[in-house]
Structure 1
Amino acid sequence: MSTMLKTVPRFLNELNTEGGLKGTDIANITEVSKATVSRWKAGDIKPQPRNELILSDLHYVVGRLRDFYESDEIRTWLYARHPQLSGERAIDLIHEDRTVDVLNVIDRLENEVFL
């Protein structure tokens, strides 16, 4: 099994256990079917490069949020509209390749600029 085929199932498991994200959440953000997510999780197929980037970014963001929130709170945080993101949702920004905007908010959390 290639490294990416091993990495994706691990990322998906960690997104579930650490970020409270289900297969449906992953399917929605990557715009694929739940069955495709299940095949990624089983290591049967690997995501297209764009979806690999989305999963990688999402995994990184969830890892950063673990310093502040529990897994169910992380899922809520990702789906909530944030004043610091001009009322947008972090999950949408990650999908739109705007993860840097989300990370800037997390950096401010880390520096306790706001809670």
Structure 2
Amino acid sequence: MLHLQPTNAAEQMEIFLAKNGDYAPQFTYKLPSKSLLTKLLSQLIEIKKSHIEQQSYSLPCAKLFADKLQERILETELMLAYVDQDFPSIKRLNVLLYGEFDKDLLTQAEHILASYQEPPIQTR
């Protein structure tokens, strides 16, 4: 899988250390390009077709491998959905990967986001 590195890891580490660990880092990420994700998705699907669907493995780890491969396919599709801003797919893929949304928490999050105001810029 692609290794997504936070774009602000050093900054968040400094804040975390300055607050003696009493801080939940807020990482930001740059998504890979659509062409890279599309290529990765094609490769994962090809592996699934050639190694999973064509074989009937009897090894104990075969099911684990097949399940992990399917998870990577869904994760890649989710990143593509984010790149495309395809919100119905984002929701569907999140549910497939992580389970149903808690409607109360979702409503609470929507209220928080709706009332969020950017903090004022501090000048010296």
Q: Which structure has the larger Rg?
A: 2
TM-score interval w.r.t. the shorter chain?
under 0.3
Under a length normalisation based on structure 2, what TM-score does the superposition of the two structures give?
A: 0.24
Give the alignment's TM-score, normalised by structure 1.
0.25
